[in-house]
Structure 1
Amino acid sequence: MTSGIGARGETNTEERVGLTHEDLHAGEHGTRARCLPEPWMCDVFHIDGSLRDIRVLDTTRAVWIAVLERLRAVADETEVEHPYPQLDPVRPAFADLFRAWADDPEGRGTSFVFRARFGSVWLFSLPCDEEEIEFSVWPDDILDGVGVAAVLRFLVEVATASQRRALLTGETVRYDPEMLTLISHDPVTGITSHI
């Protein structure tokens, strides 16, 4: 199923957000997971103790920097934590962060954390390499259709800034092509698809 999302992340789902999905999913311990407005949302954000990852493949340092700068500009709030005393502790330049992390032999083995809040949902990244962008979100934080819309907006912003397809998958260390893509946004077509 697909739905169109505009350049600013608005969805065309005013009617659909008001729907109630009555099928409650039993958790692995017999507990009932809260249900989101549509069945696919429950499947994507089922609370199972693992993160959901937002990924962009085949990236470079320049793409990472473009994405982080875009998120810093459009998110409701951002935070950066890093171990580099020579850099601004609150708002370091992303090019400087990448130099300290990837180019400085003393920086190897450490990284930095970037967090962005869209609405009430926090998404975060601990960069591991320059070739694959990865952000994570806890499905426990997605409480309703508004939370889903925040994740979709984030996905669109990442895809737009990187000019590459952004994928939301289950939690994994590295992307596996055989892994199910739960949601994706293609910045070329402007189409967001979900399972």
Structure 2
Amino acid sequence: MGETDARGRAELPHEDVCDGEHGTRARCLPESWMCDVFHPDGSLRDIRVLDTTRGEWIAVLDRLRAVADETEVEHPYPQLDPAHPAFTDLFRLWADDPEGEATAFSFRARFGAVWFFALPCFEEEIEFSLWPEDVLDGAGVAAVLRFLVEIATASQRRALLTGEIVRYDPGMPTLISHDPVTGLTSHI
């Protein structure tokens, strides 16, 4: 899928220039259809990792905090650091405390110009969302692919890009996926 840089971030090849439905896309990936996966249609795109544990959530969030261009955390727990809380403490308060279950925390990570956001609802499914209109060109597509690779690598599970849904449905088509075991990225 690509090499890693000094910070351990995935490096993706994206040198070609192509013309697409929405105009010229500088630095578009060789697969020009990828730009069209993000045509704005009023719904989000979701990136998921299935059958996860709290430990995998924590590994993914820690990894993103280390490799993203920028991250933000919002939470309602006054006993934790407001800007940089430990994720183990966030999950403990959110899931283990009866009062914490009704409260959510949020996490956002920016790769290039694209923001990915999560509101953890279920420990057994990691879900991040993004606005397709933020993916304007090949550099945006590369940011999405890099994010997909990073969370698949951190969780050691296959990461899936799908249309917007509340819970994963096996009948829903996967637009793009990355398998950390094989290192392959595939699409429908």
TM-score calculated relative to the size of structure 1: 0.87
**Structure 2 SS opposite 1:179:** coil
1:162 to 147, 155, 162: 155
Distance 1:125-1:34 versus aligned 2 partners, 3 A rule: farther
Distance 1:34-1:87 versus aligned 2 partners, 3 A rule: farther
Deviation at 1:20, TM superposition (A): 1.4
Aligned residues with identical type, % of pairs: 75
**Where does the alignment leave 5 or more consecutive residues of structure 2 unmatched?**
none
1:65-80 alignment, distance < 5 Å? 65-80=58-73
Whole-Å separation in 2 of the counterparts to 1:172 and 1:69: 25
1:82-121 alignment, distance < 5 Å? 82-121=75-114
Whole-Å separation in 1 of the counterparts to 2:107 and 2:34: 26
1:50 aligns with 2:47: no
Residue type matched to 1:19 in 2? Answer: C
Report if aligned partners of 2:35, 2:141 keep a CA contact under 8 Å in 1. no
TM-score calculated relative to the size of structure 2: 0.90
Moved over 3 A (4+): 4-8, 33-39
1:187 aligns with 2:186: no
Per the alignment, residue 141 of structure 2 pairs with 148
Distance 1:151-1:92 versus aligned 2 partners, 3 A rule: same
Residue type matched to 1:180 in 2? Answer: P
Report if aligned partners of 2:18, 2:32 keep a CA contact under 8 Å in 1. no
Report if aligned partners of 1:35, 1:42 keep a CA contact under 8 Å in 2. no
**Where does the alignment leave 5 or more consecutive residues of structure 1 unmatched?**
25-32
Report if aligned partners of 2:14, 2:139 keep a CA contact under 8 Å in 1. no
1:6 aligns with 2:6: no
Distance 1:61-1:34 versus aligned 2 partners, 3 A rule: farther
Deviation at 1:19, TM superposition (A): 1.6
Greater mean deviation of Cα atoms: 155-164 or 5-14 = 5-14
Report if aligned partners of 2:47, 2:127 keep a CA contact under 8 Å in 1. yes
Distance 1:100-1:35 versus aligned 2 partners, 3 A rule: farther
Residue type matched to 1:189 in 2? Answer: T
Deviation at 1:109, TM superposition (A): 1.4
**Structure 1 SS opposite 2:19:** coil
Report if aligned partners of 1:5, 1:191 keep a CA contact under 8 Å in 2. no
**Structure 2 SS opposite 1:20:** strand
Per the alignment, residue 169 of structure 2 pairs with 176
Task: Please provide the CA RMSD for this pair.
Answer: 1.5
